[in-house]
Structure 1
């Protein structure tokens, strides 16, 4: 997993070049859509909407996405320059926050699914005895947990100088150049490298993907069964949650599959496979980052309360703009009238337009008064 690799060979149709520019394009679109969408969701759920439990879940989800996307320009610049110019601290910070974002999204979606499952199975208890502000307290605990679980990525991420004297920010155990040495050395070094990969990849795969997938699948299976037996229909709330869950697992699936392939390749010391993974793993990570800009889009499309507030805000802004425009037109008319009264008499006819398409012939009025 590298933020940026060695400069690819400059040739039309070169797969490395295509992947490089596709990666840069993806990151740019994710930044534009994600920073805008999550910013709007944070502002509305934090300051405009009611502080419901569900809104608090999505507020924390948007915060995780927003703070990570703030760091995405580092990746974009490094892709554009084809090297990492920001130093070791920001390299570690980037990998740390990207892992925090991934864990937080998975854990919050898992917590929401459990909460909805309990509400469906034990509705009276959930309505009358559920602790107040539970979403806020659980979210705080999840933030602490994700920070702790993301520390290994900060430890392993480093700056590495390639053979072409290019500095790249990478998780060192993922760089394929390490494997060329491993193939010609003892199997003990290969086992050590595999242990390092598993130390980073296994927690991410099991805790950040496999366990949330299992818990969420079980929870929504129970919800679907209960709703079917009670002949209930899925409302927009459940559609929103289902869409958010699907987007998370679909976008992160390529990265997790390549991670499994990577473990197998290191175990069997397949250098050529690892060299290909070095090219495609960063792109798979960028596909995973798409999830950070999908959630606010889903929130806008499927949350009626949010759409109503957003529409009301738009109408309010349009009214203010119309008011400013009308006020400027009135002030302009008053200034023209004032200037025309202070000018010396003239035989020329001056016509000033007022509101309501009414006109005043100033010149003729002045001449008539002089003749009288």
Structure 2
């Protein structure tokens, strides 16, 4: 788990650096940047927790803070991924509105609100837990299972239908592929974590070893996204060496083209 966290920190760190300083951002990559920051935070806290366990450092207040911060970042990551999936579904179901009438600052506003919501949710959970309500942590994951997963499954089914039943092979854009694969891996890795914490909430005896497996799933879920971006951005059948910047730019160039079509003076052929 320690090695996986290090790999994930490097991958998300590269994505954050490139999107901040090397690549022009657009509404979609703004969401991707926030998701990478949340995943980086999850991996950093998991990494610190593993180090504390391996070094036998006993600090109750330190572990409590790390638990709160991990919950804050993990909740933000889930909410941001749901926002991205809903955004892609809107672009698929209402393409003309999305390209012509979608507010330009919508992504920035939504990301800011989701960070605030995550902070309030995890903060209230930490306060209640401080006063003896240890069940609040399990309640958070139970609520996530009830609310988040139906939204993710619905979004995944809509995008799958669009990609494999409606779109021609040449119309299956990289951005749509990135979101679809990310959602599938989220269901594979995040579902066990939420399910385990939900079962522990209702169980008489808490299964600590299962919670450790759940943390490993969360670690893998936060590591896989940068790999998806770079693999999707890789040019097919290309033998040339390509920089990570080029791979990331190619992965999101479809969205960049849509932004150009929205600019005043450019004619759109979508109608």
**Could you say whether these structures have the same fold, taking a TM-score greater than 0.5 normalized by the shorter chain as the test?**
yes
| Aligned position for 2:250 | none
Q: Specify every segment of 5 or more residues in structure 1 that has no aligned partner in the other structure, as ranges.
A: 1-25, 159-170, 174-195, 267-272, 314-372
| Aligned position for 1:245 | 183
1:107 counterpart (62, 79, 87): 79
Q: 1:287: how far off?
A: 2.4
The question of whether the paired residues in 2 share the 8 Å contact of 1:92 and 1:155 is answered with: no
The question of whether the paired residues in 2 share the 8 Å contact of 1:68 and 1:101 is answered with: yes
Matched, 1:205 2:134: no
CA 288–227 in structure 1, closer or farther in 2 if over 3 Å, else same: closer
Count of equivalent residues: 240
| Aligned position for 2:117 | 145
C-alpha offsets along residues 246-265 of structure 1, whole Å, 9 cap, x if unaligned?
A: 22232222322322332332
Two-structure CA RMSD over aligned residues (Å): 2.7
The question of whether the paired residues in 2 share the 8 Å contact of 1:243 and 1:298 is answered with: yes
CA 253–221 in structure 1, closer or farther in 2 if over 3 Å, else same: closer
| Aligned position for 1:254 | 192
1:65 counterpart (36, 39, 57): 39
| Aligned position for 2:244 | 310
2:12 and 2:201 map into 1 onto residues whose CA distance is 34
2:218 counterpart (254, 268, 288): 288
Taking structure 2 as the reference length, the TM-score comes to 0.77
C-alpha offsets along residues 262-299 of structure 1, whole Å, 9 cap, x if unaligned?
A: 23323xxxxxx43xx02331332232222121111112
CA 63–117 in structure 1, closer or farther in 2 if over 3 Å, else same: same
The question of whether the paired residues in 2 share the 8 Å contact of 1:45 and 1:59 is answered with: yes
1:128 counterpart (91, 97, 100): 100
1:350-365 correspondence runs (5 A): none
| Aligned position for 1:188 | none
2:40 and 2:197 map into 1 onto residues whose CA distance is 26
2:154 counterpart (218, 228, 247): 218
C-alpha offsets along residues 161-202 of structure 1, whole Å, 9 cap, x if unaligned?
A: xxxxxxxxxx976xxxxxxxxxxxxxxxxxxxxxx52x4323
| Aligned position for 2:228 | 298
Q: 1:224: how far off?
A: 3.7
More strand by share: 1
The question of whether the paired residues in 2 share the 8 Å contact of 1:237 and 1:303 is answered with: no
1:280 and 1:131 map into 2 onto residues whose CA distance is 44
1:133 and 1:150 map into 2 onto residues whose CA distance is 26
The question of whether the paired residues in 1 share the 8 Å contact of 2:142 and 2:194 is answered with: yes
Q: Specify every segment of 5 or more residues in structure 2 that has no aligned partner in the other structure, as ranges.
A: 236-240, 248-271
SS in 1 for 2:104: coil
Matched, 1:56 2:40: no
The question of whether the paired residues in 2 share the 8 Å contact of 1:91 and 1:157 is answered with: no
